[in-house]
Amino acid sequence: MNITFYGVRGSYPVPDKNLLKYGGNTSSILVENGKNIVIFDAGTGIINIGNYLKENKKSVDKIDIFLTHLHFDHIQGLPFFTPFYDNNYEINIYCPYYSNMSLKSVIYSIFNHPFSPICNKGIRADINFFELNSKKSNGVKIDEHIEVEFIKDVSHPVSGVLIYKLSSENKSVVYATDIESPNGFGSKLKSFINGANILIHDAQYIDSEYYNEKNPKRGFGHSTVCMAVENAIKCEVEKLFLFHYNPNRSDNDLERILKDAKKMFKSTFLSRELNKINLRS
C-alpha cells in the first residue's frame, strides 16, 4: 500500500517560494493498493492526482473519494480533477450525512453556474454519491482486502467531520483533519485510532497562536502541533504525520516545529507534497 500526499495545506492554496518544499496545495491524499485507488479529500492537491492517474494508471477505472467534510479547502480541486471528464471512470464520492442538504446537489453546484461554466453535461464519468451516517454504518468495503471505517467528530464548526481509518491486511492509516481536542481524544476516538500504523493529524496551529491573548484560535476547529503529538502518544500509533498547515507556515517554520515535536514523539514527520509512504503488509 502506498500513501502519497498531494495537498497538505489548510484553508487555501498558497503559491509562495517559501512554501515550495512542503507544498501549497490544499488537502488531498492518494492511497494506492493494487488496482484500488482511494483518495482522501479533494482540495487543490487532487488536480495532480488526476493527472498522475491518467498518465500512470491507465488500467484504473474506479476511484473512491472520501471527503471529511465540505469546506471549500477540501473540495475546491474537484472541477479540475480530469477523471470527471472521462467516461472510462466510475467515481464514488463519500461524505458525512447532513440532514439539511444532499451531497449530490452540493457537488454538482460547484460544476455549475455561477461557480463554473462546466455544467452537469460536461461530466462524463459515472458518479455515485454516498452519505455516511456513523449511526447506521461502520465501514465501506473497497474490495475484500480494504475497508474504510469512519467516526464522526463534532469539534469542527459547524457540523463536524468524519475521521477515516483505512485498513488493508494488517496495516492501517488514520486520516484525522479539521479537528480540535484541547483535552485530548476521548475514549471512543482513542479506541478507533489505537495502534494505527500511520496517523495523519491536523496541525494547523502552534501554541502561541492557539492560546494567543489578543487573537486566540480556540474554537476554530483545528489542532495545535502539541495536540497532534499528545493524541499520537495516547493512541500508541507507529508514526504521526503533521498535516493541514496554516497557510502562512513556511518551510523553515515547519522544520523548526518538527524538531520540537520529535522531542515529544520521535516518530513524528511532516507531510510533504509528493512524499510517498510505503506500508508493507
Q: Residues 149, 153, 178, 202: which binds Zn ion (CB under 5 A)? A: 178
Residue placing its CB nearer to Zn ion in the complex, 32 or 73: 73
Per rule CB under 5 A, count of chain residues that contact Zn ion: 4
Give the phi and the psi of residue 176 in degrees, each rounded to 5.
-130, 90
Residue placing its CB nearer to Zn ion in the complex, 53 or 96: 96
Least Cβ distance, residue 77 to Zn ion (angstroms): 13
Give the phi and the psi of residue 189 in degrees, each rounded to 5.
-65, -40
Q: Quick one: which segment of 48-56, 71-79, 117-125, 147-155 binds Zn ion (CB under 5 A)? A: 71-79
Give the phi and the psi of residue 63 in degrees, each rounded to 5.
-130, 130
Residues 211-249 as b or e (16 or more Cβ within 10 Å = b) = eeeeeebeebbbbbbbbbbbbbeebebebbbbbbbbbeb
Q: Quick one: which segment of 7-15, 77-85, 145-153, 235-243 binds Zn ion (CB under 5 A)? A: 7-15
Q: Does 73 bind Zn ion (CB under 5 A)?
A: yes
Least Cβ distance, residue 120 to Zn ion (angstroms): 26
Residue placing its CB nearer to Zn ion in the complex, 146 or 242: 242
Binders in 244-263 for Zn ion, by CB under 5 A:
none
Which residue stretches of the chain are H helix? 45-56, 103-109, 187-193, 207-210, 225-234, 251-264
Going by C-alpha positions, the residue among 93, 105, 40, 102 that lies closest to residue 62 is 93
Residue 2: strand pairing partners: 32, 278
Residue placing its CB nearer to Zn ion in the complex, 178 or 273: 178
Least Cβ distance, residue 244 to Zn ion (angstroms): 6
Q: Quick one: which segment of 9-17, 93-101, 190-198, 224-232 binds Zn ion (CB under 5 A)? A: 9-17
Of the chain, the end-to-end C-alpha distance in Å amounts to 8
| Residue ranges in contact with Zn ion by CB under 5 A | 10, 71, 73, 178
